[in-house]
Amino acid sequence: MNNQADIQNHFDLRRCILQILYAFFQEFPYGLAELHQFQEQCQCSSEELNWNIVYLEKCGFVELDKSMGCPPYVSCTASITAEGIDLVEHPAQLDKKFPQPG
């Protein structure tokens, strides 16, 4: 069973992914971010990244390409959806979905 620290780590990672994608979208609206960027910037393992970014995709916050040639990642690239942009642009909603410690 997950403890509270594990759950908070997942919230932090998901926020990190969304914030990176949002900043990337602002600079390159039609661009696709490579997953290795998230692993480096969010300081997580590829395994943690994979299941957390798939979770975000299932929530409708990100889109992943479906290519299979990107081991160890589930996808080569990702982009933020309109729903993901709306979440990042409304800090109270982001905090409710992925609370920060404190």
Q: Domain total for the chain?
A: 1
Query: Does 71 map to a domain?
Result: yes
Residues linked to residue 21 through DSSP beta bridges, in sequence order: none
- How much is the pLDDT for 87? 98
Exposure class string for 36-70: b at 16+ Cβ within 10 A, else e:
eebbeebebeeebbbebbeebbeeebbbbeeeeee
- How much is the pLDDT for 6? 79
Residue 48 identity (one-letter amino acid): E
CATH number at residue 66: 1.10.10.10
- pLDDT tens string for the chain (102 positions)? 457 777 789 999 999 999 999 999 999 999 999 999 898 899 999 999 999 999 999 999 999 998 778 899 999 999 999 999 999 999 999 999 999 876
55 SS3 class: helix
Query: Does 27 map to a domain?
Result: yes
Query: Does 102 map to a domain?
Result: no
Query: Does 29 map to a domain?
Result: yes
* Domain region containing 41: 4-93
